[in-house]
Amino acid sequence: MKSMKLGRGLDALLGEIDEAYDNEGSQKDTVLEISLQEVKANPFQPRKNFDEASLLELSESIKNEGLIQPIVVKESIDGYTLIAGERRLRASKLAKLQTIRAIVLNSDDEKMRQFALIENIQREELNSVELAFAYQELLKLHDYTHEELSSLIHKSRTHITNTLRLLQLSEKTQKALIEKKISAGHAKVLIGLDDKQQQLVVNSIVGQKLSVREVEAIIKGMKTEKTAPKKKSTTQSYDFSTLQEQFLNLGFKAKVNNNKFIIEFESEAQIKNMLNWFS
């Protein structure tokens, strides 16, 4: 039964947004020119990081050539809420435009969430951590298996599974990956380490410009050290303090070193005196 629902899930959503774009050419009334100030961001936008240089480049393109593909919005009480086209919206604002072309769809919050996830996945605009959260969100929304999601978004099951594993990393390690201080290859070999170990290795990667292979060797050494049985110390420690004090009181030089009690003599007379002391 579950497989029958799949065709009416993401496929239906993708078809709906594609149909809206297809209709743009034949039905001009589907596209409106709306005020940029009236458009609010999609609260379900999975993308949190936007490359400023890329936005400026798109902004210049929009200034010179206009907006080729309209954004997609839904009408709200006090304007419009963005469904798809976050980069186009931001770039248009950077270009200081007053209005923007938009397709208006009827959509509820669940569809808005899914539109945002799908658009970003298809356009490959998410970094690897954001992509992992997007996959996780889609799996939860539809109760898909990795295999089912793979066939719907045309990504390999291995890719989806490996990407989701990045969510096992600590927040600091995820941040280092987002900021490109470490690569996805580095991140994958860090999975399984605790937060403290991850931070130690990340610092080494950044400071020493380590390759993935070098990091693998370091982690292998850490795991070997962790699993190796600790040798118990069989050496017993002795307290020579009282004995040392007595010898010092008798005028002998005495010192302790690693459970060894050492007496130093300055003359033959001292040796005879000690022998007499024990006799």
Catalytic residues: 86
The structure tokens 């089912």 sit at 148
Residues 159 and 224: their CA atoms lie apart, in Å, by 29
**What is the DSSP annotation of 57-91?**
HHHHHHHHH--SS-EEEEEETTEEEEEE-HHHHHH
Q: Are 220 and 212 in contact (CB under 8 A)?
A: no
Enumerate the β-bridge partners of residue 76: 79
The amino acid occupying position 165 is R
Yes or no: say if 84 and 119 are a contact pair by the CB < 8 Å rule: yes
Query: Letter for the amino acid at 141?
Result: L
CB atoms within 10 A of CB 171: 9
